[in-house]
Amino acid sequence: MAIAPSLYARQGDTTQIEEMSKVMEVVSKVPDAQVMTDLDATVAYAKASGKGNTKKLGITGFCWGGRIVWLYAAHNPALDAGVAWYGRLVARPGQPPNPLTPKQPVDVAADLKAPVLGLYGAKDRGIPLESIEQMREALKKSKTKSEIIVYPDAKHGFHADYRGDYKKDDADDGWKKLNEWFKKHGAV
């Protein structure tokens, strides 16, 4: 069973917005705490429905959702594995912690309860290689065996086939690695 919860619904309907900056206005209003409880409710729904085997629990997300994968892996002890696609790892320069986003993945790396595979692009202008190295260093304090793969020629959004930064070979390889990761860690 796969579920794609609408994690921004309380802040606005992004399905009718075409301009990315307007979508991001909605997304920027979503508190991490709300997302964690919504994901917990999603897992509870899957279990209660009888259609999902929550004893094999994985999460994946792209961009904003990639950041959420790292946070949820620190939040839910029942999670088996996560795969984060180009999710922010550290705060944007000049962005202090706030009530909506009190922590970043680098801040919770030591608290991961499930292993996460991070898939990133070396040419991503929004996620510099320095932040990836910061996360790799922070992951050394984690009890999980999380990993980060950097695709040398990939930019942000390299898995999104509707975007100009789509890179089919890296997207296909990442998807293969996602399936291998979930299988290795019991999420499928």
CB 154 within 8 A of CB 122: yes
Please give the pLDDT value at position 70. Answer: 98
User: In this structure, is the dihedral angle defined by the CA atoms of residues 134, 137, 139 and 142, taken in order, positive or negative?
Assistant: negative
pLDDT digits (tens, 9 = 90+) for 5-32: 999 999 999 999 999 999 999 999 999 9
**What is the pLDDT confidence band of residue 65, given thresholds at 50, 70 and 90?**
very high
Please give the pLDDT value at position 52. Answer: 93
Q: What percent of the chain has pLDDT over 70?
A: 100
Burial track 52-72 (b if 16+ CB lie within 10 A, e otherwise): bebeebbbbbbbbbbbbbbbb
**What is the pLDDT confidence band of residue 173, given thresholds at 50, 70 and 90?**
very high
Residue 83 and residue 116: Cα distance in Å, rounded?
5
CB 62 within 8 A of CB 124: no
Q: How far is CA 131 from the centre of its chain?
A: 15
Domains delineated in the chain: 55-184 (3.40.50.1820)
Please give the pLDDT value at position 18. Answer: 92
Q: What is the mean pLDDT of residues 87-101?
A: 95
Q: What percent of the chain has pLDDT over 90?
A: 98
- Catalytic positions: 63, 124, 156
Please give the pLDDT value at position 98. Answer: 95
CB 80 within 8 A of CB 185: yes
